[in-house]
Structure formats: C-alpha cells, structure tokens
Chains A and B, each alone.
Chain A
Amino acid sequence: MASEVSMPRLSDSMEEGTVLKWLVEVGGQVKRGEPLVEIETDKANMTHDADADGVLVEVLAQEGETLAVGEAIARIGAEGEAPSGGGAEAGGSGEAEDEPSAEQEAEPGTGGGEAEPGAGVGEPSRERERRPEAAEPDPDVRPTRDAASGAGRLKASPVARRMAEEKGVDLGSLEGSGPGGRIVKADVEAAEGGRQKPEAAGDGGGEGEQAEAPEAEEAAAAGVQPKTAPASGEGGPKGEPEVQELTRLQRTVSRRMAESKATAPDFALSLDVDMTLCIELRERLKEQTENAPSFNDMVVKAAALALRDHPRVNSAYRDAKFELYPRVNVGVAVAAQGTLVVPVVRDADEKSLGEISRQARRLIGRVRDGEITPPELSGGTFTVSNLGMYGIESFTAIINPPQAAILTVGALAKKAVVDDNGRVVARDMMNLTLVCDHRILYGADGAEFLAAVRKLVEAPLSLAL
C-alpha cells in the first residue's frame, strides 16, 4: 500500500509551499530520513526528507507548483506499484497512514521557535550532493502527471472545460484558482492571455535581447527561478519593462513591511556613541583571534544586555495586547537572495561576545549560501540592522512586526566633538537609531533603552561581564 507524502509545515507561519526540486526520480528508491524534495516556504528553501522507505511511485506536485500545507505532493509505495491515478481518492486520507503522518504531525514543532538545529543544519550538505543528478529536468515526471490527470478527475468547472476545449487550452497544464483548487473560467482566460502575449512580444524583440536580471543568478542559486514575462507592445517613454515575479521570500518581505508601516505608529530616537574604547578593544581582540567580534556584534551584545533590563523593548504589540518575552533573541538583518532575511541569535543576553560573533558569522554565511532554515529565522524578539559598511551615517528602518522596535547602526566615522574641556576634537563616532512602535514603546522608555545601549558600547569591557 502506497503512502502519501503531503506538503509539510516547515515553519510556524507556513501555509503553502512551492516544490522546487524533486531529489529522487519517479521509480527511484526512497529511504526514510533521506532527502526527497526541496521546498520553498515563506521563509526559506528547505530539503524535506522522506517519511517512509520504498519507491517514489508518483509525483503529484510538479516542480514550481504551489500547494497548501497538507496537500498530497507524492506517493511512496512498494516497487512496481502502479500510480493511483490521481489524488482524488487519496486526497483526504492523509491521516490514514500511521507512521508517516505521525512523523509529519511532529514536524510543525520543529519550526515552532525552539532551537532544534540538529536536523536542519545537517541536511544541506547532502542536498548539495544530490543536486547534480536531479538538476536536469526529469523526463519521467511529466507523463506521470498527465496519466494522473487523465485517469483521475481533474477539477475544472463546466464552463472552464468548455472554454478550454474551444480555445485549445490544456487543462492539465493549469493551476486552479477556484474553491478546492478547481480550474475556473478565469484560469482558462488567463492561460489563453498568457499564451498570446509572448507571440505578440516576439515581433518587438528577440529572445536574445531579453536582459538577464542581476538578481536572477542569486535567485537561481537559491533554487528559485523568477519568471520573467516581457510586456507586449512598444516600450513607451520608460522603455520595455522587464516584469519579474516575486519569490516567496520577496512576497513575504513586501507583505510584512507594508503591514508594519500601515499599522505601527513609529517614531525614531537617534544618538551618536563614542567608539574609541570599542576600537581599542577590537584591536586587542584582533591580536588574539583572526575572527575578532565586529562592532555590530558589540552592538548586538550591548542591545541584548540592555533588553534584559527594558522588557518593553523586548516585546511585541499583538492584538491590542503586550507580549513580553522572557528570552532575548536578537535578529540580524542580512541582505541576500535578492531579498531580506533576518537570522536570529537566540538568548543573546546570555551568550558571550565571542559566541554571538561566531554565531552571527555562521548564520550570515548560511543566508548567503541559501542554506538557512526556518527555525534559524524564527523567534526573534528584537532586530538590529546595519548599513554602516556602505558609509550610511544614520538611517531609520521599518520595524520587523510584531516586534516593538528595531535598532539601526550607522557607519563609524571621525567626527568633530566638543570634549569636556570645551575643545573641538576628532572622535570615532557611530550613530545608533531606535525606531519604536508607539503602541507599546513610548518615547521615554525608548530613550532610556538607547541610553543604556550607549553606556554599554562606550564602556565595552562591560560586555564581557
């Protein structure tokens, strides 16, 4: 009896996932715990392991397809077992399997916020080993899907069926947007519209002229192929735009940022900190280690210590309630994969400066390599964002909802400062700006916190206590 593989919940906020790559061919051997499929969630790309031993009998979700959590994506069975001919009857039976489903049930906990690095961290190397053989499009896969849609029941409304037949649109190639994934009239119309567009554009410019987006390479590295669709017709004064579909990550960022700006009444507090002693400390640490903590690591550590004493900053405004968090988990904003990712240093207040530095370095590397997993991105209670390396002196950031505040770090620069004796001297200064959600964090509270951070940064030995 074949068991079904359903779209796993790989992060606590995941509602649907996109199949990026099948790592096993149809008919290939599957081993429980071995990588089976690469899935893009709202937070990251992840490799999902098989829940059972056997043979990959049938792939129900093709690469690029997006399905809701819990929907069947493949079937694993005994060797020689025939494909069922569609998910129709199998659709609701996800709970019928004993072992695999129990495994899946347990899975959401993995993304639930508690650190469970073991499982997630080990995988990517195996994933990379697997990648080359699965890189080519698998010729076996598509016929299976066609067979499935033929023998089983493809959900399409009567009018969609009639129109598809009239217009010669292959219903099997469409994704239904109606209730229960039913293909409806609008889907057929969209498919027809989409088919005509490239032809029209073909007159205007050859395929070769289509500029490759700079992000395309990064996205491809992350396993995401941004779909580009040239707009038809003459370009107009702006020239012919290249239209890019957002990756799931980019969609998440755009949604959350807009949500934050639209809902959080924010204000910013800004001050410069004297970095003289930090620079001195770092010079000395450099003598001890190749990977001395950066100034950003020092800010993270200082913020973490200050957060412990300022619970309102280490909290969230959610549904007209304050949520104060007992743990101090500081997220570090990282630009990568053509988007923004915030890996989290958990319990940063309890970690030494060296530990924070090593962990941040490792997390940032994993983001850049596209190996970061949802658990490493979840559970943040506060965020630090740094654009100092670009020479930005000071800036405000958008609060990472539902957190109460975000701290931005500017560039380290020599500035003219009036010292205690009234003389103008050059000092190494760095700007810190705290953007607060006024629903939970008021001016005086934010200012007190920021002053505490300054005090710690200006006396960096305190970071070692």
Chain B
Amino acid sequence: MSILDFAGASQTTVSFVTNYGHRLYSDDFVRQLDQVFTPLPVGANGAGFFENQANPALVSDFLAMALSFEDASFDGALVWDSLQFLASPLLQTVVARLHRMLRPGASLLALFNTEERIESVPTFAYRIQDHRTIQMVSRSHRRPAQIFNNRSLEKLFQDFHSVKFFLTRDRLREVIVRR
C-alpha cells in the first residue's frame, strides 16, 4: 500500500509504516503552506497568510509543490490537523485534490480542533509509535482559518463515500473519511 503522511518525516512513523511493507510518502504540509503563503516580511502569526491563499499564482505554486501526484496514487492519507489552516477557496481545492489522489476505498485521517472562538490552536508533529499510540510533538500555536463542526465537515467531504467523527480528549475532532 501507499500511504501519504502530511506530518513531516519522523523515524517512528517511517518505521511503523514501512515495517508493514507499505510505501510511505512523507511531506510537511504546514511547512509548505508557510513557505508559500507567509507574507514577507513575516507578520505576527501570519498577517496576510490567509489572504495570500486567495492569490492564484501562489495557489498554483503551492499545489505544484505539495500536491502534484497522479490520480489514485495512495491507499491512505494522514493529513492530521493541516486542513484547518486552509482558507476557504484553497481548502476545497485541496480536498478535491486529495479525493483524486486517493484510490477508491482509501481512507483519510484528519483532525480538527473542536473549540469555538479560538484565536490560535496548538499545532503538533504527529508520530505513530505503535498501533495504539500517536506521539504529539508540540510545534507552535497558529490561527485556524475557520472552526469546523460536523455539518461543515460533512459538506467538506461530500464527494467521499463516508465520513466518521470521533471526539478525542484533546479537544480534537478526529475524522476518518473513506474515498
């Protein structure tokens, strides 16, 4: 199987996935977002960051850099909490790309903060330690583009076959989507 991981490469995840004989494609999606959309000079916590996500030239740069895969390339995608930092037009584009990149029956895991009215949320590097443990390594705080509820998530993933929600202890909504 081919697995896409947006958390950035870590030894534990690489070992976990490859020990099962799977192929892992690793990228730090949030870092790519920052690279392309963070305005220069860098504003405090990305002033202009979301505005830049509406800039067609930057969007096409970003898609070429982060999501240039052939259709049906992956059997699973670990996007973790990265989608909540995408503003609306880009968010839909990225989800549509993910839909194309996944094979029918493939699963996608995404996390969203459940708190409303938050200015910034903690971000983490997620690492799979074993089949029941995910290590969350703190990275920074950043402002999400929007707050998601079950209904908005269902709408976001409407082209997928099914969407399941789980509430975790860490004020995160875990979403498992099947292509």
> Bound pair: A and B?
no
B residues in contact (CB < 8 Å) with A: none
A residues in contact (CB < 8 Å) with B: none
